[in-house]
Homo-oligomer: A and B are copies of this chain.
């Protein structure tokens, strides 16, 4: 509060051990959140990272912040995958793959599943995720709608809802498959307009 403590936005390079620990913590947190969901305990994460709890709080100020760091960390992969889906020749395939991917992700990462469902909890994290992924999902959906394959009334927010059933439970691959099958079938526009072959489909 005295001297000339004008911190130029970037301080000093973090210490080597600190950098290592940060990585270890993120890995451990990811693992524990995946298995235990949002209920994962800070002590457990610390133990798995080979570090004391205090260190978690030194790096990330709070449990929620740690969670957010983990989530944001994995966000790029997700975004990249969705970007790729936009390049799919068949728009409907994009929708299929999108749901399949989210489903798989939910099965492997409990916290992920719990996050995309809940609305008001953990404002920050949820917001960050939705901000980042929402527009991409929207494009995927719109493309499939424009091609007449996806119900016109579906909106981005429907996707997490429809996938909620896959969270927090153990289910056989068969059950999971059937679930996706049903939802996808429900999302798809029913009768492809009886198009007597020979005429252009849309106009």
Contact = CB atoms under 8 A, between A and B. Distances in A.
Contact of A119 (B160, B169, B183, B185): B169
Contacts of A162: 165, 179, 182-183
Nearest to A189: B185
A161 interface: yes
* Most B Cβ at <10 Å: residue of A167, A169, A190, A191: A169
A182 B154 CA distance: 9
Given A161-B171, A162-B182, A164-B164, 10 more contacts: A118-B169, A119-B170, A153-B178, A158-B178, A158-B182, A162-B179, A165-B165, A182-B187, A183-B183, A183-B186
A152 to B, nearest CB: 11
A157 interface: yes
A24 interface: no
A68 interface: no
